[in-house]
Amino acid sequence: MPEIILHYIWEHCLWSGYEQKTTDGRSVEILSVGEHNRDAGPDYSHARIRIGEREWVGNVEIHVCSSDWVKHRHHLDKAYDNIILHVVRTADKPVYNSRGELIPQCELNYPSDQDYLSKLFESAQQMDSASGRIGCAEQLLHEPGLLTEGWRQTLLRKRMECKRSSIMRLLGITKGSWEHALYISLARNFGFHTNSVPFEELAINTPLSYLQKHRNSLFQLTALLMGQAGLIKYTKDEELAKEYEFLRTKFCLTPLDGSVWKHARMRPQNSPELRIRQFAQLIYQSESLLSKILDTNDLKNLIQLFEFKESEVPPLGSSSIDILLINTVIPYKYAYVLHGVSGSEDTHHKKKAEDILKLMEQITPENNTIIRQWRVLGQRVKNAADTQALLHLYQNYCQHHECINCEVGYKIFQNNKNEPLLNF
């Protein structure tokens, strides 16, 4: 049995009603399975377990066999010193932490018919990931309601939390400057996926403070950004090239290699040269952009921040503005309102965060190959809240065969214990 199956059994309490004991005979009462940790470290944190007469709060590690503990070198890792219970299918040896202390172990007791999960996992592993097909497509075609509104809302929050985590990492790079972090994020999303990486590199290599020194001159902003992008030679604008050379020397800058930008099979309105000019225009007209974004929850006002005024540069299309709102503006508003929140303020700020998420419901749904798959399966796609939830479901569950951790998969598994579960 793969370890992921034991995770599923543990997390969904499929052991409920079955007596659990440690390998040395003490009773085990699982009061809380804890929070699933998908990063490095123990599998579950903040679990509450009563072993014998004593209640413990701490981490839980899960393995198929006890001997996996040593294979994974947990006995040498201090991060595993506060494990309160080692949950296994087979206890083939005692295990110790880095301090040499014996760790309680429990051979998880669960219904024998749960082996149907192994069959599911084997089927999932046979799925052709290159096809990008949604594993439960056949079931959803017959019963679209398997994907509930509650699961959609949870997926939307999970996606926003992922974006929030990325913002927190970026704040670390910018030494806590929200304005600088927003500048880098906006640059990345101005690349609109195809050129997101070189656009982000451009922003990192061209400090916001340098742009702010010349923000009253659109010409200088354009020269600085086009030059730093390594694309100034393609403009055939001698005055622009001359101005960049002056600014490059002034700030001791090194431009990117222009070859990093993608041009093939690209519409003119998506060319990196145009996008950089539009980005320069946005900086030129947007003094205190962060404050303006944080101070309003009116979607029309947020859209107006990205509409160009008296500009010779072609304006951003409505779909481009929507992408910037979805991937940068709303996540920053969400992350900012929750930043450093704790204690009695928690409920109030979470309510404000939920209100910010509702802005997604006012934005036109995204249209891409993933979303079109969901449409074919009869799924509601009315707004960006729907598309963000469905994108998170596909990218974090379907693509990684995490069917057993998905609410849709859970329902299918429970309804088909004695039948073939998914037709991949």
Task: Render pLDDT for 84-113 as a digit per residue (tens, 0 to 9).
Answer: 999 999 999 999 999 999 999 999 988 765
Question: For the chain, what are the domain ranges?
Answer: 3-110, 158-359
pLDDT tens digits, 281-316 = 999 999 899 999 999 999 999 999 999 988 889 999
- CA nearest to 43, candidates 96, 82, 97, 92: 82
pLDDT of residue 196: 92
pLDDT of residue 423: 38
Per mean pLDDT, which range of 165-174, 210-219, 260-269, 379-388 is the poorest? 260-269
pLDDT of residue 113: 58
Strand-pair category, 54-65 with 83-90: parallel
Question: pLDDT confidence of 135, banded at 50, 70, 90?
Answer: confident
Instruction: Judge whether residue 59 has pLDDT over 90.
Output: yes
Handedness of CA 38, 42, 45, 48 (dihedral sign): positive
Q: Averaged over 187-194, what is the pLDDT?
A: 91
Per mean pLDDT, which range of 7-21, 138-152, 271-285, 320-334 is the poorest? 7-21
Q: What is the dihedral of CA 197, 203, 204, 208, to 10 degrees?
A: -160
Top-confidence residue, 209 or 124: 209
Per mean pLDDT, which range of 66-75, 110-119, 143-152, 194-203 is the poorest? 110-119
Instruction: Judge whether residue 12 has pLDDT over 80.
Output: no
How far is it, in rounded angstroms, from Cα 233 to Cα 229?
10
Q: Averaged over 186-214, what is the pLDDT?
A: 94
Top-confidence residue, 14 or 91: 91
How far is it, in rounded angstroms, from Cα 182 to Cα 200?
11
Query: Mean pLDDT, the chain, as a whole number?
Result: 88
Place of tokens 């001359």: 242
- Find all residues with CB under 8 Å of 342, minimum gap 6, and list them: none
Most confidently predicted of 43-47, 277-281, 285-289: 277-281
Which CA distances in Å does 331 have to 31, 195, 200, 302?
35, 20, 17, 13
Instruction: Judge whether residue 131 has pLDDT over 80.
Output: no
Q: Residue 30 forms beta bridges with which residues?
A: 49
Instruction: Judge whether residue 126 has pLDDT over 50.
Output: no
Q: Averaged over 28-44, what is the pLDDT?
A: 87
Q: Which residues of 113-133 are buried (b: 16+ CB within 10 A; e: fewer)?
A: ebebbeebbebbeebeeeeee
Top-confidence residue, 360 or 349: 360
Instruction: Judge whether residue 248 has pLDDT over 50.
Output: yes
Top-confidence residue, 305 or 412: 305
